[in-house]
Structure 1
C-alpha cells in the first residue's frame, strides 16, 4: 500500500511542477500585458494614501485624484527633460570623451606592462567606447519603457484603480469563498506593500537628491541625471545602489582624475551605508518579513520573468505571494521558507 501511495504523491508533485512551468511560461509570454498592469497597480497603491490624505482635508475624490495625477505627470515630464538634456550634453562632449578615454587607456597599458600584462588599447577602447555604453543604456531604457509605451493608457488605468478602491471591500466580501480569511490576507498584503513602497519611495527620493547635490559639489557632469538613476535603481534591492554608482565612477575617472573617481566611489559607499544599511532598516523595521536570500533570489526570478520592471517590484511581488500563501493550508509551509526565520513576538502569540 505504501508504494502506490508514494507513486501517487510523486505523480501529484510532477503534475504541480508541470502546471507551474506552464503558468510561468504563460506569464512570460504575456509580459507585455502583465507588466503595465502590475506597474499601474503598484502606482495606485503608492498614490492611494495621497488621495486619502487630500480627501481628509475636504477635497472630493475626483479632485484629489486629479491633483495627484497632475503631479505625477509633471514629475514624468521633468524626468524626460532631464534625460533629454543629458543626452544632448553627452553628444556635444563626445569627441572630448573619446580623446580622454584613449589617453587613459594608454596610461593603463603602460602600468600593466610593468607587471608583464599585455593589454590591447584598441580592444579596450572598443569595449569601453561611449557609443557602446550609450547603446547598452538605450537597450535597458527601451526594455523599461516598453512597459510604458502607452503612458496615457497607464495613467488611465491608475485613475480607474483609484476610483475603484472604495468599492473593492464590498466586491471581495461578496465574491470570495470564506471572505474573512481572504480579505484579512489581502488587507495584510496591501498594508505591508503600501508601507514598503511609500517608505522606499521617500528613501529613494532622499538618496537621489543626496547623489545629485554631492556630485554637483564635486563638479561631476550629469549630476542631476545620475541622481535620477540613483533614485530609480534604489528600488532594486541589494545590487541597485551598486549598479547606480559604477557609471559615475567611470565617468569621473575618464573626465576628471583618479582622485575625483575615488571621491565619487567613497560618496556612493557612504550614501549606501547611511541610507541603505542604517536609515532604511530603522524606518522599515523588519520590512516585509522576507529573508535576505529570498530577496536576492526574487530579484533574479522576477527580473527573468518580467524584465527590469520585475526587478523593481521583486520585493513587493514576493511579499504578496508570501502573505497570500499564509492564508492557504498548502502554502503556509512554503511561506515559512520565504520568511526571515524570526519567531513571532510573544504578544502576538498570546492574542492568537
Structure 2
C-alpha cells in the first residue's frame, strides 16, 4: 500500500505534467521555434568544437558556421519555393495521367475476369486536398521564411553563449561535481544523437537525389529534401517520403523504373536505419518501438506536423536526461529498448 506522502507526490507530478503539456500545446508556435533552435544549435556546436580544435579562432569558426547556415536556409527556401510552384502548376496533368494509368490497370484486371467499378475508383481519386496542401505551403512561404529567420537568430544566440553557459554550469554545480558530470554526459549523448541523425538523414537525401536524377524523375531536389526531413520520423517517414517519386514514375508509365525506385528506397532506408545508425549512435541510445510509436502520436498532437519530426529527438532528449541522474534513471530504462543492450540495472 502506498504511503500517503508518496501518493501526494504522485498526484503532484501528474498535475504538473498536465499543466506543462497544456502550456506546450497553447504556446506550440513559440515552442517549435525554441526547440528547433536548440536542436540545430546542438548539431552545429559539434562542428564549432571541431573547427576550434583545428586551431581556428572561435570567432572565425562561429562566423563560418553562421554564414553557411544562412546560405543553406536561403538556397533551400528558393529551391523549395521554385519546385513546389512548378509542381503545383503541373499537378492537374499528373492527376489526369495517374487516372489514365489506373484505367489501364482496371481494363487489364477486367480481362482476367475481375469485376471492378471503374467510376467509383476514379471518383475516389481526388487530388484536391493534396493540391490545397501544396498551394497553402507556397502561399505561406513568407511566413515559413520568417519563422526560419527566427530559428536562425535563436541558433546564432545559443552558439554565441556556449562558453558562457559552461561557466554558468560550473558556478551552479560548484559543490556538486556529480551533477556537473551527469549534465555533461547528457549534453554529449544529445549532441551525438543529433549529429549522427543529421548525417544519416543527409546520406538518405543524397542517395535519393542521385537515384531520382539517374532515373530522370521530376523535382529530384524537392524529393531529396523531403527524404532528408522525413528520415527524422521513424517507421512511417521513409514510406511517406517515397510516395511522390513513385507516383511520378507511374505517371511516366515506366513500371520498371517504379519497381527500381521502390527497391532502392527500401535498401537505402533499411541499410541506414538498421545498420549505420545503430553502429554510429550506439545501442545505449535506442528507444523502445512502443515509445517511438506513442511519441509520434503525442508530440504530433501537441505541436502538429512539426511535432512528428521532433517527436523522437524530444523523447530521446528526455530519455538521456532521465538516465543522467540516478533518481530518475528508472524512467530512462522504461523508455529504452532493452532488447538492443545489456541492462545495467
Q: Structure 1-normalised TM-score? A: 0.85
Query: What's 1:160 paired with?
Result: 157
Structure 1 CA distance for aligned equivalents of residues 187 and 141 of structure 2: 25
Structure 2 CA distance for aligned equivalents of residues 190 and 146 of structure 1: 32
Structure 1 CA distance for aligned equivalents of residues 284 and 343 of structure 2: 14
Give 1:153 shift. 2.7
Structure 1 CA distance for aligned equivalents of residues 168 and 258 of structure 2: 56
Structure 1 CA distance for aligned equivalents of residues 305 and 233 of structure 2: 9
Structure 2 CA distance for aligned equivalents of residues 60 and 6 of structure 1: 58
Give the 3-state SS of the residue equivalent to 1:104 in structure 2.
helix
Query: What's 1:230 paired with?
Result: 227
Structure 2 counterpart of 1:20, from 17, 21, 26: 17
Per-residue CA deviations over 1:228-256 (Å, capped at 9, x if unaligned) read: 11111112222211211122112211233
The answer as to 2:315 corresponding to 1:318 is yes
Structure 1 CA distance for aligned equivalents of residues 193 and 117 of structure 2: 49
Query: What's 2:115 paired with?
Result: 116
Structure 2 CA distance for aligned equivalents of residues 315 and 6 of structure 1: 35
Query: What's 1:209 paired with?
Result: 206
Show structure 1 runs of 5+ residues with no match. Answer: none
Query: What's 1:40 paired with?
Result: 37
Query: What's 1:60 paired with?
Result: 57
Query: What's 2:337 paired with?
Result: 340
Per-residue CA deviations over 1:168-223 (Å, capped at 9, x if unaligned) read: 22212323596423322221121111111112111111111111111111121112
**Comparing 28-37 and 46-55, the one that deviates more:** 46-55
Structure 2 CA distance for aligned equivalents of residues 327 and 224 of structure 1: 40
Q: Is the 8 A contact 2:98 2:250 kept in 1?
A: no
Query: What's 2:291 paired with?
Result: 294
Structure 2 CA distance for aligned equivalents of residues 110 and 263 of structure 1: 25
Q: Is the 8 A contact 2:295 2:312 kept in 1?
A: yes
Change (3 A) 1:27 1:326: same
Give the 3-state SS of the residue equivalent to 1:189 in structure 2.
helix
Structure 2 counterpart of 1:284, from 272, 281, 285: 281
Give 1:143 shift. 9.5
Structure 2 counterpart of 1:104, from 101, 109, 113: 101
Q: How many residues align?
A: 340
Structure 1 CA distance for aligned equivalents of residues 12 and 260 of structure 2: 56
Change (3 A) 1:185 1:313: farther
Change (3 A) 1:49 1:21: same
Q: Is the 8 A contact 1:27 1:305 kept in 2?
A: yes
Structure 2 CA distance for aligned equivalents of residues 112 and 21 of structure 1: 54
Structure 1 CA distance for aligned equivalents of residues 202 and 144 of structure 2: 22
**Comparing 246-255 and 190-199, the one that deviates more:** 246-255
Give the 3-state SS of the residue equivalent to 1:116 in structure 2.
coil
Structure 2 CA distance for aligned equivalents of residues 148 and 183 of structure 1: 38
